[in-house]
Structure formats: C-alpha cells, structure tokens
Amino acid sequence: MASIRTARVLAAVAALPLAAALFSGVAAADNATLQDAVGSGASNRSNAAQVDSSAFTTVQQGTENVAVYFTPLW
C-alpha cells in the first residue's frame, strides 16, 4: 500500500513542471496601435489583445471598463 502511495506522490510531483508550463504565458496589451480621436463623439478605445506562449488562454474583450492593479510581490 505504501508503494502505491509513493508512486502517486512521485507522479504528482513529476507532473508539476508540465502543469506550470501549460498554465504559464505572457499576456500583453497591444501597444503598437496608436489612435487619434478627432471630432465630435470620438473615442480612444481599443479592444486589441495579444497572448504569447500559452496553449489555453481566454481573453474577454467586452465593452466595459476594467481596472488592473499590479502589486510587487517582493
């Protein structure tokens, strides 16, 4: 029984780097788009998004405003 538990623990530990690779990635705002809002009722909103190096990533591109706050971890 202990050997089965040990095998399961080793399999779970061995799977951690794969899980980290699958769920990591870089999300970046599209800063290559320059916009000019000229005239009555013009808006400077852009809904462009880009995700690099991630297999499964969803990007919700609605019309509502979202605030993102970054906090230094160390």
17: enclosing H helix or E strand: helix 2-23
Which of 50, 48, 47, 46 has the alpha carbon at shortest distance from 26?
50
In tens, the pLDDT along 34-65 reads 666 777 777 766 667 777 777 777 777 777 77
> 60 lies in which domain range?
25-74
Would you say residue 7 lies in a domain? Answer: no
8 falls within a domain: no
Give the number of domains in the chain. Answer: 1
pTM of the model: 0.31
pLDDT digits (tens, 9 = 90+) for 2-21: 788 888 888 888 888 877 77
pLDDT for the residue 74: 82
Rg (CA), the chain: 21
pLDDT at residue 27 in the model: 63
User: What are the E-state strand segments in the chain?
Assistant: 26-29, 49-52
Using the structure block, give the residue that is written with the tokens 């899980």. 19
